[in-house]
Structure formats: structure tokens, C-alpha cells
């Protein structure tokens, strides 16, 4: 059974899909979420963790020195004996020490078809607005390994969705979110099978 740490900054709907799959889906008997960490004490993702009896820790990014924040996160992950780290709508850079120590074991979900619409400042709604503005015919979601930079690690899995001329950023966001919930657990399963 592989232990997962999930990092969230907001609502945590991807976290929920991972939790659900560890209980009754494709991750059952191969993975469990042992800790959820958020940079935002008000993140609903923390509540989702508590509702599933998973350790939930808020590290208040705004009120901590960066080095203290990084050290606390590193220690929490080490103490939890985590095998994989899943970034489920986590909006901060991962501490370098964690990136180097957990190489090829940090997964990130991105709401576009990387390498398009990735990089600093490209997250959440900003991505969907950029897709609509560029008059793209398709978008989608990507799960990739996280490295030192935003959205540059190698791709594990992608899935496309159509983008229609009449779509707003919200329309695209809804369509992409469905795909995110589907492919994140699949990517985790794929990585776990390759760890053996």
C-alpha cells in the first residue's frame, strides 16, 4: 500500500476524487491518502480530509517565513513516510529539497494540454480564459511529474476535451474538471505500478 500526501490550496475536488478512488475505485488496496497539507488555512480541501479521517495540516503561507514553511512541509512529508506527493490544485512552488528527494514521485494536475498554457501565473481560471481567448478548438487536462519549474516535468497522462466557439472560460473549466477527476487517479495508479 503506497502512502500519498495530497497538497491543496482550495476546494480540493481533485483530492476528493483521489480519496474516493482509494476507498472504492482503481486505487483501492494500492494507495491511501495519509496526509493533506494546504498553504491556505481556509481551503475546503482540509475539511474534505477531516471528513474522511485523514490528517489535515494548514501551513499558513502568508504568515510564515518561506524557509520555515518549507522545513515544516518537508518534515510533515518525511514523518508521514510518504511514497508519492500529489499536487491537487496546489498553487505554490514545491521546496527544492522535496523536489530533489522525491524525484519522479511528485505528480501535478494542470487544467490544459501541456506544454500549451503552462508556466508561472497559469493556473485555474487564468488557463481557461487564455484557452478561450486563443480560440483553441480543444483543451483538456494533464498529469505530469513536478520538477523545479512550473509545468515542465514529463507528462504521465493527458486527456482532451472539445472547446466550442460559444464557450466561456467557465464552460471550459467545467468540462476540464470532469476529465481531471478521471485522469488523476489513473496517473497515480500508473506511477505506483512503475514503482514496484
* Per-residue pLDDT reduced to its tens digit, 73-103: 999 999 999 999 999 999 888 999 999 999 9
**How confident is the model at residue 148, as a pLDDT?**
84
With the C-alpha atoms ordered 108, 9, 127, 94, is the resulting torsion angle positive or negative? negative
**How confident is the model at residue 140, as a pLDDT?**
98
Give SS3 for 48: helix
Rounded CA separation 147/166 (Å): 36
**How confident is the model at residue 196, as a pLDDT?**
64
Residues 110, 128, 144, 181: which is the catalytic one? 110
Under the banding of pLDDT at 50, 70 and 90, the label for residue 106 is: very high
Q: How many CA atoms lie within 13 A of 9 on its CB side?
A: 13
In this structure, the number of other CB atoms found within 10 A of the CB of residue 116 comes to 17
* Per-residue pLDDT reduced to its tens digit, 34-58: 999 999 999 999 999 999 999 999 9
Distances (CA, A) of 87 to 42, 45, 136: 17, 12, 26
> What is the pTM assigned to this prediction?
0.95
In angstroms, what is the C-alpha Rg of the chain?
16
125 is catalytic: no
Which domains are present in the chain? 2-115+142-158+177-195 (3.40.50.170)
Amino acid at each position: 500500500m503506497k502512502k500519498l500526501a495530497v497538497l491543496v490550496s482550495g476546494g480540493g475536488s481533485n483530492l476528493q476524487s483521489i480519496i474516493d478512488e482509494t476507498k472504492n475505485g482503481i486505487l483501492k488496496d494500492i494507495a491511501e491518502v495519509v496526509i493533506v497539507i494546504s498553504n491556505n488555512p481556509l481551503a475546503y480541501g482540509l475539511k474534505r480530509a477531516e471528513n474522511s479521517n485523514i490528517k489535515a495540516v494548514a501551513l499558513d503561507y502568508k504568515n510564515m517565513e518561506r524557509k520555515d514553511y518549507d522545513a515544516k512541509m518537508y518534515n510533515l512529508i518525511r514523518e508521514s513516510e510518504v511514497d508519492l506527493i500529489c499536487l491537487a490544485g496546489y498553487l505554490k512552488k514545491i521546496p527544492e529539497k522535496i523536489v530533489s528527494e522525491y524525484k519522479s514521485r511528485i505528480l501535478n494536475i494542470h487544467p490544459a494540454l501541456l506544454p500549451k498554457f503552462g508556466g508561472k501565473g497559469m493556473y485555474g481560471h487564468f488557463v481557461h480564459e487564455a484557452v478561450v481567448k486563443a480560440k483553441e478548438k480543444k483543451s483538456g487536462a494533464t498529469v505530469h511529474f513536478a520538477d523545479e519549474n512550473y509545468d515542465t516535468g514529463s507528462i504521465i497522462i493527458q486527456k482532451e476535451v472539445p472547446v466550442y466557439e460559444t464557450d466561456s472560460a467557465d464552460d471550459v473549466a467545467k468540462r476540464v474538471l470532469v476529465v481531471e477527476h478521471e485522469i488523476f487517479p489513473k496517473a497515480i495508479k500508473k506511477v505506483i505500478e512503475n514503482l514496484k
